[in-house]
Amino acid sequence: MAFFSFDKKGRLGIDIGTASIKVVELAKESNRFNLTNYGTFEIEPDESALNVVKLSNKDLVSGIQEVLQKAHMKSRDVIASIPSFPTFSTTITMPYLSEDEVAKAIPFEARKYIPIPLSEVQLDWAIVNVRKDQRPGIVSQDPKSQPNIEVFLVAVPKEEVSRYQTIMKDAGLNLKALELENFALTRALVGNDLSPIAIINIGGRSTSILVVENGFQRASHDYEVGGFAITKSISRALGVNLRRAEELKRNFGIRSGDDNIIRQAMSSLVDMMAFEANKTIHNYEDQRKTKITKILVVGGLANMPSFIEYFSEKLGRPVSSGNSLARVILPPELESLRTELNSTFVVSIGLAMRDI
């Protein structure tokens, strides 16, 4: 576990992943954020099954409390992330009449896209685009001239919402909001940039490929290969346990050279990540007749030696590490850890930035 403590009180962003629980505490002063605390609880992989461990609510509560206690975090107000895989999200196009009419039409439209009964989900939506040359509130008598709007639709199973509420309550925390990981990523990395940006978030279990334009999620794709699959591949290739394989991955990375057997063990999986990212990016560019201007990579794997360079080569495009700390002030004692914190805590940083 990794901790660093300060005295200020702030708001917590808690990112519960499949490989770790990451907690950040930010304090906001004069429209700038100050990092006051951070901590990580590592979820040990199952050595025998070589699979990701799914922790019980009790284990998650214990892990969160351990981070809070050892890092001496004072805040109890929390924004927590909910992973994308149990949720449903899509962008739909519909005619615009008025805000009230859109609100009434959303449940009927949602039934076409959500595979479970609406009574079992919490539904939320936002207008993300209006056809250029027309604006909401300007209603023409000619139905053909009515503006079309694009609406981003999100449905979260009520069972999942209730589960996270219970976890935070049992941990002694005040849950202010639940938010999809992708929303937190966008807030932390994009800021006021309205250009088309691709964000590749490599987690423990999966890789999320997200396209953001005008500040909103416009496309996403989850690929079921993440950092843990790479660790397993190294473990099998070298005949070492998962802990040792993780150390080798972080130390040697994917640097070129015939003697780098770590690169040989992981390259095919990284190549598949790049292939899926390229496919999502090209599909978006073809459909929207636009060009992705930036490709950002985040997640622990982004800190691996030579990973960014290798990924950029495979994509055939410039790639850079996402800068989640662009609007966050670090104390001098943590400057040496900026690179690690920047990629590893991006979701929890974005969560703690959210206005309640």
- Residue-wise pLDDT tens digits, 61-93: 999 999 999 999 989 999 999 877 778 888 888
pLDDT at residue 136 tops 50: no
**pLDDT of res. 331:** 87
Q: Could you state, in order of their start, the residue ranges of all structural domains in the chain?
A: 88-157, 192-321
For residue range 166-221, what is the model confidence (pLDDT) as tens digits? 999 999 999 999 998 889 999 999 988 889 999 999 988 888 899 999 888 888 88
Determine the CATH number of domain 88-157.
Answer: 3.30.1490.300
* Residues 6+ positions from 306 with CB-CB distance below 8 Å: 253, 254, 255, 256
Nearest to 42 by CA among 3, 85, 84: 3
Q: Which residue has the higher pLDDT, 294 or 20?
A: 294
**Torsion sign, CA atoms 86, 92, 94, 98:** positive
Edge-to-edge strands, sheet with 216-223: 216-223, 207-213, 197-202, 294-298, 320-321
**pLDDT of res. 146:** 66
**DSSP label of 260:** -
For residue 291, which amino acid is it? K
Average pLDDT (118-134) is 78
| Position 139 confidence tier, pLDDT thresholds 50, 70, 90 | very low
Give the fold, CATH level 3, of 192-321: Nucleotidyltransferase; domain 5 (3.30.420)
> Cβ(297)–Cβ(321) under 8 Å?
yes
| Position 298 confidence tier, pLDDT thresholds 50, 70, 90 | very high
For residue range 305-356, what is the model confidence (pLDDT) as tens digits? 899 999 999 999 999 999 999 989 998 888 888 888 888 899 999 999 998 6
**DSSP label of 99:** H
**pLDDT of res. 50:** 40
pLDDT at residue 22 tops 60: yes
For residue range 105-116, what is the model confidence (pLDDT) as tens digits? 998 888 888 888
Average pLDDT (237-257) is 88
pLDDT at residue 1 tops 50: no
Range in 42-46, 179-183, 271-275, 293-297 the model is least confident about: 42-46
Average pLDDT (32-59) is 74
Give per-residue burial for 55-70: e unless 16+ CB within 10 Å, then b.
Answer: beeeebbebbeebbee
**pLDDT of res. 49:** 40
Q: How far apart are CA 23 and CA 126, in angstroms?
A: 28
> Cβ(202)–Cβ(227) under 8 Å?
yes
Determine how many CB atoms are found less than 10 A away from the CB of residue 49: 8
Long-range interactions of 226-229: CB distance < 8 A, separation 24+ = 226/18, 226/19, 226/202, 226/299, 226/301, 227/19, 227/202, 227/203, 227/299, 227/300, 227/301, 228/18, 228/19, 228/45, 228/52, 228/204, 229/269
Long-range interactions of 289-294: CB distance < 8 A, separation 24+ = 290/196, 290/213, 291/196, 292/196, 292/197, 292/198, 292/211, 292/317, 293/195, 293/196, 293/197, 294/193, 294/195, 294/197, 294/198, 294/320
Highest mean pLDDT among 38-47, 129-138, 244-253: 244-253
